[in-house]
Chains A and B, each alone.
Chain A
Amino acid sequence: MRKAFVLAFLLLLSPAARANDPSAPIRFEETGAAVGARMLHHTREFKGRYADVLGMFTSGGAAVAVGDYDGDGDEDLFVTDSGTGRPNHLLKNQLIETGKLAFVDVAKAAGVAGGNDERDIVADALWFDADNDGHPDLLVARFGTPILYRNLGNGRFEDVSVKAGLTKFGNTIAVIAFDYDNDGRLDLLFGNYFPPVNLIDLPTTHVLPNDLDAAANGGGVTLWRNVTAPGSHDIRFVEVTERAGLSGQTGWTLDVGHGDLDNDGWQDLYLADDYGTDRLFFNNRDGTFRDATKQALGRLDTRKGMNVDVADFDRDGWLDVYVTNITDEYMKECNMLWHNNGDGTFTDLAKETGTCNTLWGWGAKFGDFDNDGWLDLFAADGLRSAGKENYIPVLLEMIIKPGVDFSELGSWPHIGAMSWSGHQKKKLFRNMGTLAFKEMAAEAGVDNDRDGRGVALGDFDNDGRLDIYETNAGQESLLYRNVSPGTAHWIELSLIGSKSNRDAIGARATLKAGGVTWIREVDGGNGYAGQSSKRLHFGLGAAAKIASLEIRWPSGLVEKLPAASVPLDRLTTIREGSGVVNERKSR
């Protein structure tokens, strides 16, 4: 009833009630191999009696992080592998140098290829400027201990993990950088899947979820405060999980996301937990968070949270949250599109908007792929595509066994060459501007059936159209170049913090054009296994000129930019307190 009311209210009052033009196509071309960005991922192979089950439970690790690590004006990619001894890939974009989109793997020369050793498994990656020196540093999250690579600014990186204090073991599967205390330094939140046991050298066989709908024996999260001295390259972190009020989390965290959900200028958190309850935390503005899950979401869910992305999909000035879960023939959970009601509560509109079903969900990202002014959604899916035999009936026998201990490795049947929710077609939901989305992945050319994991968006060829990079577990990654023929205008903003963190993570841009108001926030790695570009991308739809642009920086400074200083169809760089410092034409 409440949901119906909210929907009706939104439809009546929101300026969003303008239908999109369904005739303008969205088109992508898969060009990964052609541009040197197709990377084969390897999942970790375990040894011993439980090798099969452990391999099944750790079949992630295919991640991508987008960032301009060399500051040359085009987006580079860091793509992970997880196989023992397998190198990660630093794909340097040669667009600026050569005028053509092409990547070359410089990971070994840069010193960032390692990480997959006998004890540690690479699971995620993140670009963030830990020391505010203008050179993006690289965090490689692992089932093990993380690696923090400091960017030396000369194409090489130095492993500073131990000096930085990042030596705590955890089975980290997701990491974000954000400034939770608005002190101008980027902090780290690790989402940990398994409890902190070494899966390669098992101290116990009770390492799996103790409940498949409400597990309470996972790795939870850890929060690390950046205490690097201003101007210093001696990067330091200290753990503040308990002090921040996050130590009680024992879920199987699969993804973490941040955003200013209550419009107070402070970053809030959403934790997507597999095998049970997601959590929403509001920032208390004093270095602590409060768990507002029950009040905000109305319930404690039992779903398999896989992804968190945060954006204002309905242009009402409040950030919404998209969470993927598992929906298949045998498990009909439905995703959650948490519409922000603007009063500290959220209403799930996944069913009503048509974004409920992305099968076995993984990474999913909001992005305006046709520059029509409405945020669309691309979602990866698919767990394991192998032989014809289906693992589900085999699994059922274990699940219904009386008194079975799910946490015990020996309880789980071997999967061998069986498939499990495999061969699933990816989904692209076009935002129709009427609180409804239309699925059109096949039409857009992105309906591959690989075992998707991470999704990262970025304008890799600087043409004003958002491209997609998709990682796949145990399979090759894909790069979808956006070739949509639309003619709508766009702008892209690159924000540089001065008093705020230099990456401007948490900065909010409010753009007005053609009677429409958009908000975008710079995020530090939202979305499962995929960090998108930190550039803010706006499709302007029918608007032909900008009315106003305002940046609210994490420092609290609100900066109004003259509309004329932000040209259309350009990437514009804005420095905190200095306004526009640079603009570049599209190709």
Chain B
Amino acid sequence: MKILRRIPVPLILLLAAGGLAFAATAYEDTMKAVAAGNNAAALPLFETALAADPDDLKSANEYRKAVIRTKEYDRAIAFFGKLTAQHPQAAYAWLSFGYAYVDKIPDAGSITQVILANSALTNFSKSIELRKTWIALFTLGNSYLYWPKVFGRAPLGVADLEQAVALSRKEPKQRSVYVRAWIALGDAYWKTEQPEKAKSTWRQALELFPGNPELKARLERDGDELEKYIYDQLDPNRRVDTNLAPLWEE
């Protein structure tokens, strides 16, 4: 549990605190609304909960999922903007703020995508400044990889991803979600023209996460085929999986 101990409020306690702030019955009611497909009704309920506990990553995650379904991206961006202004020390609020931008990217025009991606980077960085968590380091490092090569952003992601992997390696149990950072670190090496280091990283990860299909897919490919595969994965027009539930569901 070292990763969780590195943050001022361990994730589990944080989630529990979120649960307390957002009274169990209210949370259940909100989730019922979501389950019934009434996402619009759920949005203000989540916002109330997050206003009470801005670091409640679980509610923020569910809120963003409802936002994606309703395509109310600008509402979420405005909400997290206000939330972080009111709670500038809430690291996970900054993280969620960044994700709110990322969630809008697939539905945005090509230039707006760049603006959104850049805003996301700013907020992820702020989250790391406040609290160096695995999720924030992975998220920031991984985000750089989506930028076209001409912008020269990929090298900036290497250090963050190396730190994320290092954090996860100190954990006694390799939770399956950690594989994402390994994959991204390999991709970062590959995008910075270190193909051998990329392959070595993916091979090492496969030993820790046997059978992982994304690792296998990369290791099975070379040259143009690998390039196409990686670029397909990093296509900004594809919706990135920003669901953070695996962090606490495992």
Contacts and interface: CB of A to CB of B under 8 A. Distances in A.
A and B interact:
yes
Interface in B195-250: 235-237
Given A332-B236, A332-B237, A400-B118, A213 B111 contact: yes
Nearest to A209: B111
B237 A302 contact: no
Given A396-B114, A399-B114, A400-B115, A329 B108 contact: no
Given A329-B150, A330-B148, A213 B114 contact: no
B149 interface: yes
A214 interface: yes
Classify the secondary structure of A's interface with B: loop
Contacts of B150: 329-330, 390, 392-393
A326 interface: yes
A213 B148 contact: no
Given A392-B151, A393-B150, A393-B152, A332 B235 contact: yes
A303 B235 contact: no
Contacts of B152: 393
A396 to B, nearest CB: 6
Interface string B110-147: 11101100100000000000000000000000000000
B148 A329 contact: yes
A303 B115 contact: no
B151 A396 contact: yes
Interface in A203-252: 212-214
Contacts of A158: none
B172 interface: no
A212 B148 contact: no
B109 interface: yes
A276 B237 CA distance: 16
A213 B109 CA distance: 5
B151 A399 contact: no
A302 B110 contact: yes
Contacts of A417: none
Nearest to B149: A329
Contacts of A329: 148-150
Contacts of A109: none
B108 A302 contact: yes
A349 to B, nearest CB: 17
A400 B114 contact: yes
Contacts of A326: 110
Contacts, number: 45
B174 to A, nearest CB: 35
B120 to A, nearest CB: 11
Nearest to B118: A400
Interface in B41-76: none
B151 A212 contact: no
The CB with the most chain A CB atoms within 10 A, among B109, B148, B237, is that of: B109
A352 to B, nearest CB: 16
A212 B235 contact: no
A333 B118 contact: no
A350 B148 CA distance: 22
Interface string A64-100: 0000000000000000000000000000000000000
A331 B115 CA distance: 13
Nearest to A214: B109
A536 B95 CA distance: 60
A399 B111 contact: yes
The CB with the most chain A CB atoms within 10 A, among B111, B114, B149, is that of: B111
A367 B237 CA distance: 31
A213 B108 contact: yes
A333 to B, nearest CB: 5
A333 B114 contact: no
Contacts of A331: 110-111
Contact of A212 (B112, B118, B149): B112
A399 B115 contact: yes
Interface in A326-373: 326, 329-333
Contacts of B151: 330, 392-393, 396
Nearest to B148: A330
A304 B108 CA distance: 13
A302 B118 CA distance: 19
Contacts of B115: 399-400
B110 A213 contact: yes
Nearest to A333: B110
B173 to A, nearest CB: 39
A333 B235 CA distance: 11
A276 B109 contact: yes
A331 B151 CA distance: 12
Contacts of B149: 329
Interface in A313-337: 326, 329-333
Nearest to A302: B109
Nearest to B152: A393
Interface in A531-584: none
A333 B109 CA distance: 8
Interface string B82-123: 000000000000000000000000001111101100100000
B148 A303 contact: no
B152 to A, nearest CB: 7
A581 to B, nearest CB: 51
Interface string A441-469: 00000000000000000000000000000
Contacts of A392: 150-151
A174 B33 CA distance: 52
Contact of A302 (B112, B148, B235, B236): B112
Contacts of A214: 109
Contacts of A332: 110, 235-237
A326 B109 CA distance: 12
Interface in A282-326: 302-304, 326
A276 B109 CA distance: 8
Contacts of A213: 108-112
A276 B108 CA distance: 11
Nearest to B235: A332
The CB with the most chain A CB atoms within 10 A, among B148, B149, B152, B236, is that of: B148
A120 to B, nearest CB: 30
A528 B59 CA distance: 51
B126 to A, nearest CB: 14
A400 B109 CA distance: 14
A392 B151 CA distance: 8
Given A329-B150, A392-B150, 15 more contacts: A213-B110, A213-B112, A303-B110, A304-B110, A329-B148, A329-B149, A330-B148, A330-B150, A331-B111, A332-B235, A332-B237, A399-B114, A399-B115, A400-B114, A400-B115
15 contacts: A212-B109, A212-B111, A302-B109, A303-B109, A326-B110, A329-B148, A331-B111, A333-B110, A393-B150, A393-B152, A396-B114, A399-B111, A399-B115, A400-B115, A400-B118
Interface of B: 108-112, 114-115, 118, 148-152, 235-237
Interface of A: 212-214, 276, 302-304, 326, 329-333, 390, 392-393, 396, 399-400
Closest 5 CB pairs of A and B: A213-B109, A302-B109, A212-B111, A400-B118, A330-B148
